[in-house]
Structure 1
Amino acid sequence: MSRRVISFFLLIWAGGVAQAQGPAPAISYTRDIQPIFTEKCVACHACYDSACQLNLGSAEGATRGASKALVYDGARSEVSSPTRLFVDAQGPAAWRDKGFYSVLDAQGSQAALMARMLELGHRTPLQPNAKLPEEITLGLERENMCPLPGEFAAYAGAHPKEGMPLAVTGLTDQQYQTLQRWLAAGAPVDERGLLPSAREAVQITAWENLLNAPGARESLVARWLFEHWFLAHIYFAGGEPGHFFQWVRSRTPSGRPIDLIATRRPNDDPGTQVYYRLMPVAGVIVYKTHITYGLSAAKMARIKTLFYSGNWQVTALPGYGPQRRANPFETFEAIPAAARYQFMLDNAEYFVDTFIRGPVCRGQIATDVIRDHFWALFQAPEHDLYITDPSYRGAATPLLAMPGQNDDVGSVLSLWLAYRDKRNEYEALRRDAYANVRAPSWSTLWAGNDNALLSIFRHFDSATVSKGLIGEVPQTMWLFDYPLLERTYYQLAVNFDVFGNVSHQAQTRLYFDLIRNGAEQNFLRLMPANSRDAYLDDWYQNGGQLKMWLDYERIDDSKPSALKLDEKDPKRDFARQLLLRYGDLNAHPDPINRCEGAYCSRPNIDPGLQEAEQSLSRLTSRPAAGLKVIDQLPEATMLRIESRSGKREIYSLLRNRAHSNVAFMLGEESRYQPGLDSVIIYPGVLTSYPNFMFNVPADQVPAFVDAMEQAKDAAGFEQIVQRWGIRRSHPQFWQYFHDLTTYLQETDPVNAGVLDMNRYENL
């Protein structure tokens, strides 16, 4: 058969454009199989939280297969070997050596494991839009059942209704037949790799040249930039839609194939000369790991101005090792602190995304230390003593080291106490130093671009970041300065090891508790001095006072603030003035949750949607004690509302769970205050993990809101679900679920990706 060039286009969020040569199989993996996986499988089988580590976002993941080993295991005493797709092994044979087993290979007379799992699912269809049988466990409570091919019969006997796709409207007959034909044919895979366009290739060369430029100063800046970019999905000005790249360390220079240096962390010793390279992001783009960062000529000029202007020098390049990881302020102290902080401020949403939304797919190590809703602000560099005062910087730097580098289980307590004391010594230094400078004013807040005001939402074990101030005035706010922002990023992104043991994870969680407390203390300096203790008492109820006494440095409750705030409710007045002063930076005005006057909807949208938003505003800013339906809601519900004109809007309905404090590792339920829960409703997708979805015609929104107000218990909520809910068993489940991604493509195409349904509940 003659060879011919096969050109193909995957869905934009499925990986872009690629070209290759080879004989055309009867069924093409890229043309016929991956689109089915993308539509029906990737929503559960992507990232580390894939069931059995089976990742179906690429041919590499499909051929790698499955593993019984858990990635998320908070109790393991020993670190586990990393199993990062495309990084820690290449090809099926190498993955077999790491304990993965094939789901595609036939076993003697038995069909492939995937074929049997699909057949089990296909012969036990779900009752349309009915609640699933209670015996099917879903979500994070589900046991990681990963039968080997020889164990399938026992699995099917014990779980006859749990074939694939699991507990959701399944494959169409045509999709099922296509997959079975492919598997019966031996599951052939025609490998495809994303190729940069000519315009992208030019920019890749320019950026690799910048980061690999000779010289000690250039090398140190490149290392710092890499450690701050390693999680980013890079896209280029004028690049192809759906093309993303990531920075990696390679043994080979530009112009040669990348030879990946696969260290456990991005700041581990590479053991060889390093070349920083840009590698295409392979596989389906999934929203939960898709944290984007744009590069352009303007960005390069900005970096050159920040880092290469001035006459600062590097006398000796720092090495690697635990101490260098623990204290990046010492490691990179030669780079002007003003440049480092300004670079992070320019892209503050990206950095907060990396450690709040996170790339590790299950973030409860971090998220159970934060409240369900808060706003984040940033201290202006000219008001940050770490930037402006060399003597203060010199005293502070040794105190900014972070734990987690020593994972000895027996040393957890002693390590925690040592780093707690070091951090509190820093907080005392900071408190006393700031008491001797000008009182904070509005100029204390950085207002350089629309990254200056951020909203964070926690959804139990995941979280979301959005530009702008969304929702009612939150209970707490955070104020980042440079030492706090950099420590948070290193502790939760650079230094965090998802494959680490219980000691590493505990140290990370405990120190993040101190970071949260530091951000709250920074914010309290803006409040009237005589109000600060009362706010702390409110934030640290129910044992929180003991925590403050044991582990936190005392606050400054005497140095006045220069802000003129209403003494009756200074925090609310601060929020009001903040919104007035920085309205141009507030990326997303929020009339639904902060309705002022008679109009509680956005202007200049479809009139039917305006009326819908007006009705929805009745559900916001109300505690669960007065709106009982909140007790029935999961953390993140999507509302799909379509007007008579055909315009549709997607809203996030977020449940904000109230807690007396969030200062302890265990016992969250004992500090839960359900009567104070509330909801935020906002246009857009503000979660990576939808828990449920309602589809409501715009003219029925008043009836939907009435029903929500009248529902007092589970039976009342069941009626709402039956009328407007999209259950996992809904015949059009996938159409509605993937419309969320379509919406993202329409409204925010760079950041669009397939959402995760692992947390979609059985309501």
Structure 2
Amino acid sequence: MPITNQAANRTTPARVRLAIKPLIWLIAAMMTGCAALASQQFEDLFGESSPKSRWVEADSFEGRVFHQDVQPLLEQRCVHCHACYDAPCQLKLTSPQGIDRGMHSELVYDGTRLLATAPKRLYLDAHNTEEWRAKGFQPVLNERRNTSEANLQASLLFRAITQRQTQGAFHQTVLPDSYDFGLSRDQQCPTAEQYETFASQYPDWGMPYGLPALSDSEYSTLTDWIQRGGLLPRPAPLNGNLQDQLQQWEQRFNAQGDPESEPYKRQALVSRYIYEHIYLYSLYLGDDTSTRFHLVRSRTAPGEPIDIIATRRPYDDPGVAIPYYRLVVDQESRVAKTYIPFRLNEARWDNWHSLFYGHPYAVTSLPGYDEEIASNPFITFHDIPADARYRFLLEHSLETIMSFIKGPVCHGQVAVNVINEQFWVFFVNPNLHYGSEASDFLESQVHHLDLPAKNSSNSLPISSWISFSDQQKEYLSAKSAFIRQEMEANHILLDTQLVWDGDQQTGTNNPNAALTVMRHFDNATVVQGLLGKPPKTAWLIDYPLLERIHYLLVAGFDVYGNVGHQLVTRLYMDFLRMEGEVNFLLLLPKEEREKVRRYWYRDTSTTIKDYIFSDLISLDINSAIPYRSNQPQMELYRLLEHKLAPVLNRDYQPQSGALSGAALTTLNSLENLRGSGLHQLPELSLLLVTRQQQPLELISLVHNRAHANISSLLDEEDALRPEEDTLTLARGAVGDYPNVLLRVEEEQLPELVKQITNMQTSADYSALLDRFGVRRSSKDFWQVSDTIGQFYQQQWPLRSGILDYNRLQNR
């Protein structure tokens, strides 16, 4: 409350403050008393609350009802907002376990947390209803007497959807200010006992929140299920084929034989390396896409029930002599923002086996889990040749980069304002740099490659930043000398041969050789291919950089850490971004490098300029590319696009879809717009194009907000340059958090494009929505949402997931 903060104390007279304090205590006592009274009334009516078992077999009547009727409805109407760590009140409706866990008023994303908090991760940090209640989670289904009336009235889920039904249809195009759609809004997490008071204070806040109510049949489906007790199915047993594949892969992931033998140690170290890099992935076994798995560490060996080892980070001490790597069924709904699909098939295993076991090297002892060692992969895995590690990451570099984006950080401007609005990513050719010399170099540099996670989840930002800054400078200086030495010794030139071509010479043609990253304010997307117009910046990533980004943003990041840990992570990522940019700049003419870089970092402070433009990599060697134009950066983009043409994924290009040639020409003209009224558009607009009212194409309009620089941590607004804004068009849903849904008949595309082209004011944007928008208040919202979801799944059967609606605007 404002009257208790420091600013208020400076301006409020002492006598008034003395009078206010008893009032605060009185109000608090009244609120506590009201809550106690409400709880007592519920006990009188429905009995005492205590955790209950609501589990049934998957093939029972109630199990089938849940899977066939209830779960699809929850996914269509509820999971859009209740899926990730940032789900309101931590209520995850993505699985029976999430429903049973319930809700908690504590914020997971807390930018003011001075000390790390205890994790509360579903499946990991508690394993039954009683344990979750002990951690402060409140039920959303009835845990009192088992009667029809109690099952309804003591269910928060029922009370919330009933409140929305009572509210009825919207009567305003733009919803009133009584709604708060901000991501940082104050959470309201009433229990069923408190719901009557909550509903009187917030009469419009039924569920779905700020969206059309459920239909009568949908409401009936949920109500009937809740009235019968809200029974939840246990996981179904695996079919025989999947069980056989699971056993085979678990055998591959777990070392066999004598624990003191060298082959055992090698397999144990390789499995640890694989686990620490793919533990976030949704794994499919072979060609079967019916069931997804996660790779976990278990106290129990294959063949026994899994006992998951829950640690903050995948490399924390497991607390057992031998951790076993097991495959556990992923029971979550397929949510786009956390979904990283990955096939474990024989071709992949053959490649991994060749990389890690096809060449002789010795593992004489296994590394421990001391934080100084475990947080630094260059120490932990130095026995595995760097070439094998790099090629392993390159093989699935899309997923490697995707895990930076789709990990535990479901939102956070500070987390992603370290990257530009759109940029292309290339990789250093592994054939040039990753032999024994590179391994020796990395081994000599391991203590310059420490990462913030070594300071655990409680960090002091300033002292840590200075330390890591000094280490980064030392490393880049040594790297510069090493590159010069290698170029001279092996007659390597600074030209496009430095860029990985996706293994075209072997016929592999890996499309992960070129990626596009797009930022949408507080979240981001990565796709294969070179999407959009040539960007302002690009990265050229080598092995040490790729590995450090993974251990910084994925393996080493703790979403439950303190504010210092989160800030240091962001600040360290500045170093890594600049390293990737510098690698790319080395391909430009020597005299162009600083000029281009100064453009990327316009209007930065003197302190930052001193760091950025110091000789971070003093490689005074000219590019060997024979540039022929006065725009070498654009020419370099064209050269790389030509080099990678055989492997480029063009699925996301609008021309790969079903639009007519005329429609494509019209739509693509939007990518030529610059500045003007583009700043009125939100970060991500999803456009459903229809032909005779039938879905034809799904197009993403990505708003690239231009920046003079991205060196500011907390004052991003001043760095924006709206006159330089652009649009990128992509086929499908390339972002997981749409801000607005649009719908247009193909023949009306010229009209839509004209309105966007001529847009200048917020009134113009409102007119665009009046004509083509499907606002959150629209009676057609759910019908369009369902069509988009179904069409998205048809377009991308393995890549698609449920979109997140927490960022839908109200304009």
Q: With structure 2 as the length reference, what TM-score do the two structures score?
A: 0.86
Asked whether 1:615 is paired with 2:658, we answer no
Match of 2:521 among 438, 460, 475: 460
| Amino acid of the structure 2 residue aligned with 1:637 | S
The aligned residue for residue 165 of structure 2 is 122
Does the C-alpha gap of structure 1 residues 409 and 193 become closer, same or farther in structure 2, counting only changes over 3 Å?
A: closer
Give 5+ residue unaligned stretches, structure 1: 1-17, 593-601
Once the 2 structures are TM-superposed, how far is the Cα of residue 663 of structure 1 from its aligned partner?
1.4
Q: State whether structure 2 residue 365 is matched by structure 1 residue 323.
A: no
User: How has the CA–CA distance of structure 1 residues 360 and 198 changed in structure 2, closer, same or farther, with 3 Å as cutoff?
Assistant: farther
User: Separation in 1 of the partners of 2:437 and 2:672?
Assistant: 41
Match of 2:218 among 167, 172, 175: 175
Per the TM alignment, residue 194 of structure 1 is displaced from its structure 2 partner at its CA by 4.3
Verify: 1:443 aligned to 2:497, yes or no: yes
Distance 1:27 1:105, change over 3 A: farther
What is the match of residue 234 of structure 2? Answer: 192
Q: CA deviation at 1:496?
A: 0.5
Counterpart of 1:734 (choices 763, 782, 786) is 782
**Would the alpha carbon gap of residues 135 and 564 (structure 1) be closer, same or farther in structure 2, given more than 3 Å must change?**
farther
Q: Deviations over 1:241-264 (max 9, x none)?
A: 341111001111111111111111
Distance 1:758 1:649 in 2: 24
Deviations 1:686-710 (A, max 9, x none): 1011111110000000111112222
Residue 291 of structure 2 corresponds to 243
Moved more, 129-138 or 202-211: 129-138
Q: Note the 1:181-580 alignment, pairs <5 A.
A: 181-189=224-232, 191-214=233-256, 215-239=264-288, 241-272=289-320, 273-384=322-433, 388-407=437-456, 411-436=460-485, 437=487, 438-448=492-502, 449-543=510-604, 546-550=607-611, 553-554=614-615, 555-556=617-618, 558-580=620-642
Residues 453-499 of structure 1: CA distance to partner in whole angstroms, max 9, x if unpaired? Answer: 00000001111000000011100000100000000011100010111
The alpha-carbon deviation at position 646 of structure 1 amounts to 4.1
Q: Distance in 2 between matches of 1:197 and 1:24?
A: 20
Alpha-carbon offset, residue 19 of structure 1: 11
**How far is 1:95 from its partner?**
0.4
**AA matched with 1:291:** I
Give 1:126 shift: 3.5
Moved more, 157-166 or 536-545: 536-545
8 Å CA contact retained: 1:169, 1:728: yes
Distance 1:477 1:203 in 2: 40
Q: What's the offset of the Cα at 1:165?
A: 0.7
Fraction of identical pairs, as percent: 35
State the partner residue of 2:79. Answer: 42
Distance 2:498 2:670 in 1: 35
1:69-110 Cα shifts (integer Å, max 9, x gaps): 111012101111111111111121110011100111267875
Aligned match of 1:81: 118
Corresponding position of 1:667: 715
Q: Which one is further off, 66-75 or 318-327?
A: 318-327
8 Å contact kept, 1:404–1:507: no
Counterpart Cα distance in 1 of 2:499 and 2:316: 35
* Matched-pair contact (CA < 8 Å) for 2:480–2:619: no
1:649 aligns to 2:697 (yes or no): yes
CA contact (8 A) 1:620 1:680 kept: yes
Deviations 1:711-734 (A, max 9, x none): 221112211101110111222212
Other-structure match for 2:202: 159
Give the number of aligned pairs. 730
Q: Residues 578-657 of structure 1: matches in 2 within 5 Å?
A: 578-588=640-650, 602=655, 606=658, 609-625=660-676, 628=677, 630-644=678-692, 646=694, 648-657=696-705
State whether residues 402 and 526 of structure 2, in contact with CA within 8 Å, keep that contact through their aligned partners in structure 1.
Answer: yes
The structure richer in helix per residue is 2
Once the two structures are superposed, the pairs formed by residues 104-143 of structure 1 within 5 Å of their partners are 104-105=141-142, 110-127=153-170, 130-143=173-186
Cα distance in 2 between the residues matched to 1:548 and 1:382: 35
CA distance in 1, matches of 2:433, 2:221: 61
Distance 1:353 1:67 in 2: 29
Cα pair 2:118 2:560 within 8 Å, conserved = yes
The question of whether the paired residues in 2 share the 8 Å contact of 1:639 and 1:652 is answered with: yes
In 2, the alpha carbon distance for the partners of 1:687 and 1:130 equals 25
Q: Give yes or no for contact 1:539–1:661 (8 Å, CA) kept in 2.
A: yes
Structure 1 distance, partners of 2:316, 2:683, is 37
CA-CA distance at 1:306 after TM superposition: 0.5
**Structure 2 vs 1, CA of residues 75 and 313 (structure 1 numbering), >3 Å: closer, same or farther?**
same
2:735 partner letter: T
- Are the equivalent residues in 2 in contact too, given 1:250–1:277 (CA < 8 A)? yes
SS in 1 for 2:728: strand
Equivalent residue number for residue 146 of structure 1? 189
Query: Structure 2 vs 1, CA of residues 259 and 428 (structure 1 numbering), >3 Å: closer, same or farther?
Result: same
Structure 2 residue identity aligned to 1:312 = Y
Q: 1:536 to 1:499 in 2, by over 3 A?
A: same
User: Structure 1 pair 258/129, CA: closer, same or farther in 2 (3 Å)?
Assistant: farther
Change (3 A) 1:195 1:730: farther
CA spacing shift, 1:54–1:237, aligned 2, 3 Å: same
Output the CA distance in 2 between the equivalents of 1:182 and 1:46: 21
Using the TM superposition, give the Cα deviation of residue 401 of structure 1 relative to its aligned residue in structure 2, in angstroms.
1.2
CA contact (8 A) 1:231 1:359 kept: no
Is 1:91 aligned with 2:128? Answer: yes
Aligned partner letter, 2:634: R
TM-score (norm 1): 0.92
Deviation at 1:390, TM superposition (A): 4.3
Q: Secondary structure in 2 aligned to 1:121? A: helix
Instruction: Specify the SS of the correspondent of 1:389.
Output: helix
Contact 2:58 2:235 in 1 (8 A): no
**CA displacement at 1:365 relative to structure 2:** 4.0
| Counterpart residue identity of residue 278, structure 1 | L
Give the deviation of 1:674 after TM superposition. Answer: 1.2
- Cα distance in 2 for partners of 1:111, 1:712 equals 51
User: Does the C-alpha gap of structure 1 residues 420 and 326 become closer, same or farther in structure 2, counting only changes over 3 Å?
Assistant: farther
DSSP-derived class of the 1:693 partner: strand
Distance in 2 (alpha carbons) for counterparts of 1:483 and 1:382: 15
Match of 1:59 among 83, 93, 96: 96
Partner Cα distance (1:390, 1:642) in 2 = 55
Contact kept in structure 1, 2:515 and 2:530, CA below 8 Å: yes
Q: 2:422–2:535: 8 Å Cα contact kept in structure 1? A: yes
Q: CA deviation at 1:174?
A: 1.7
2:745 alignment partner in structure 1: 697
Distance 2:498 2:64 in 1: 62
CA separation of 1:258/1:552 partners in 2, compared to 1, >3 Å: closer, same or farther? farther
Cα separation, 2, equivalents of 1:394 and 1:581? 33
Shift of 1:188: 2.6
Residue 417 of structure 1, CA deviation: 1.0
1:388 positional shift: 4.1
